[in-house]
Chain A
Amino acid sequence: MTEAKAQLLRKRYNAERRFKLYGQIAIALALMFLAVFMYKIFSKGYTAFQKTWIQTEVHYDQELMLIEGSNPTLQDLEDADYYDVAYQAMTRLDPNLPEELDRQLIQLVAYSYEKEVKELLLDNPDYLGKIVPIRLTASDDLDQVHKGNYPRDIPEEDRRVNDYQLKIYDMLNERGDIISKFNFSFFTNPDSREAELAGIASSFMGTVFSILVCLIFSFPIAVLAAIYLEEFAPKNKFTDFIEVNINNLAAVPSIVFGLLGLGVLLAVFNLPRSTPLVGGITLSLMTLPTIIIAARASLKAVPPSIREAALAMGASNMQTTMHHTVPLSMPGTLSGTIIGLAQALGETAPLILIGMVAFVNTIPGTPVDPAASLPVQIYIWSESAERGFVEKVSACIMVLLAFLILMNLAAQVVRHKFEKKWS
């Protein structure tokens, strides 16, 4: 081998080594961004899955509750006055409470404390007249203090928790009366103005309903369109034109579909505003082209030999399509559909336009009840000033990501498990 040739060979190997290195750097960078992103979300959000309670005692004093008679019915308990017993339960925390500080003491628990006192009795009517232990949801400020998210060393006038409240907190904490457990209410509560009570139930159900509506509207239409275009439609200028437009539609920014939903579904058809029904239909406009493209691609991937085999057996066009081509294309179509739905799942802009950004403090039971959706919930909470919402945003992102990962996994499973092999 001549020297020149050896040099050329060396250069070639070096070039290849360099190219590999660039690739590895690119992958490493991508992984690093992902890791930082995940770390940020998890380190901020994991505390949202913990909830803080204050343990105290409540005396269900019949007199204070203005209940008459010795055998009150459940309705009597329902109508009773709980203000004084709840107040007493709180003031019990500090026996030598200065009169003027009682409001500050009560600020340590969520504003719903009176309701919690009432619910405990309604669940256990025999508590009437007794002194029983009770757990009250801590206010979000105290919750943040307990989780160590709130700085204690800044001047008192800049703090939302004052010195007196901190003193009480420390005392309770020492006594073991601050309880921290898994936060089920994050999953079962609807949205709330109070961070300690806010949960994702309404937005989660809103998302589920929207996705279902989206699936119901987009899947049949898209699959029929794809089958017609791929198997039956004549190939001419007009069908080419349709094909180009479907591809264009897939690239239209989602906010445009939101405007369409606003202008047509709400203004013309007068469908109920802020509901998953409208949200789902709007999202299905976006999902439609994605599914059509996926379904056509998987129809195209069915080998022509299968169609020829069926046709040569005397099957009609329709039979060939329905008995052979469509079943064989289903795995690809379904995984395309799931990916399309996963995209729709993360959409925020069109939902904001059709009013799914409204503050909803009820859990929707049907697709025509007002609801938010998970990505919109993230948006709403990230707008809130209170510190307690910061962890909620991250927790909500985690739930959304888990949802997305589950759907993408489902798409993978569908594709691999049901894909038929042909020779």
Chain B
Amino acid sequence: MNKITARDVNVFYGSKQALFDVSINIQEKEVTALIGPSGCGKSTFLRCMNRMNDVIDICRVEGSIKMDDLELNSNKLDVVRLRENVGMVFQKPNPFPKTIYENIAYGPTIHGLAQSKEEMDQIVETSLKKAALWNEVKDRLDEIGTGLSGGQQQRLCIARAISVSPEVILMDEPCSALDPIATAQIEELIDDLKKEHTIVIVTHSMSQAARVSQKTGFFHLGKLIEFGETEKIFKNPDNQQTQDYITGRFG
């Protein structure tokens, strides 16, 4: 089933066009990987799905992006509600300089998801367990989140993102700042998360895309060149450019 449907999305930074007529169907409870060389627009497209491009003054988005039946690219959209439903994990781990507990509790607090302290404790515990971090931090929830290791920080950010039970989780190169062991942990986690969440992940690593995703989209120079089953894209792509990128001839 389609979770997110994008039709003819064009994005401009000032007068420079960053995305050209991107149309894509993102399936529910699957992992969709977006790959492509640097500057190809994959992160820009990702940020269209939770309206993070709003932060950039000169950015303009045209076209239609629908989540279920909700039009995302509309002035009437309540961005706060959207972001409650579409979580995001960034390239560099960015926990708040607050305690581990406060990091997780922040989202549920501002959205009023917990009625009592016990409920909040429960949310924090489940989120950390889902992010496979609970065992490592359960005795030091009141320590500062920025004091954790890089991999732990990123899992903390994932726990923070899932604390409000979003339907969609967007991941912008979540492992690019991590070592191989931490990367493996995150990939395992992504596999678990797709049971309950729809995941879109931007990655530079083709092997990662091959390992974690069911669908893959290849971006180049702002265009979506090819989109399909991950296996097909990596084994037998239709497009010559995709073939060249996959085999490492450019990018």
Contact = CB atoms under 8 A, between A and B. Distances in A.
A17 interface: no
Interface in B138-189: 146, 150, 153, 157, 160-161, 164
B50 A310 contact: no
B39 interface: no
Contacts of A422: 97, 146
Nearest to A316: B80
B111 A314 contact: yes
Contacts of A314: 80-84, 107, 110-111, 164
A305 interface: yes
B239 interface: no
Given A305-B90, A423-B153, A313 B160 contact: yes
Interface in A293-312: 303, 305-312
Interface in B65-106: 80-84, 87-88, 90, 92-97, 106
Interface in A208-254: 234-235
B96 A307 contact: no
Contacts of A310: 96, 106
A67 to B, nearest CB: 74
Nearest to A312: B88
B1 interface: no
Q: How large is the interface on A (under 10, 10 to 19, 20 to 34, 35 or more residues)?
A: 20 to 34
Given A306-B94, A313-B164, A315-B106, 20 more contacts: A303-B94, A306-B96, A308-B90, A309-B90, A309-B95, A309-B96, A309-B160, A310-B96, A311-B52, A311-B55, A312-B83, A313-B87, A313-B106, A313-B107, A313-B110, A314-B107, A316-B80, A319-B110, A323-B106, A423-B153
Interface of B: 50, 52, 55, 57, 80-84, 87-88, 90, 92-97, 106-107, 110-111, 146, 150, 153, 157, 160-161, 164
Interface of A: 234-235, 303, 305-316, 319, 323-324, 328, 420-423
26 contacts: A235-B57, A305-B90, A306-B94, A308-B94, A309-B90, A311-B55, A311-B83, A312-B50, A312-B83, A312-B87, A312-B161, A313-B106, A313-B107, A313-B160, A314-B80, A314-B83, A315-B110, A319-B110, A324-B96, A328-B97, A420-B97, A420-B146, A421-B97, A421-B146, A423-B150, A423-B153
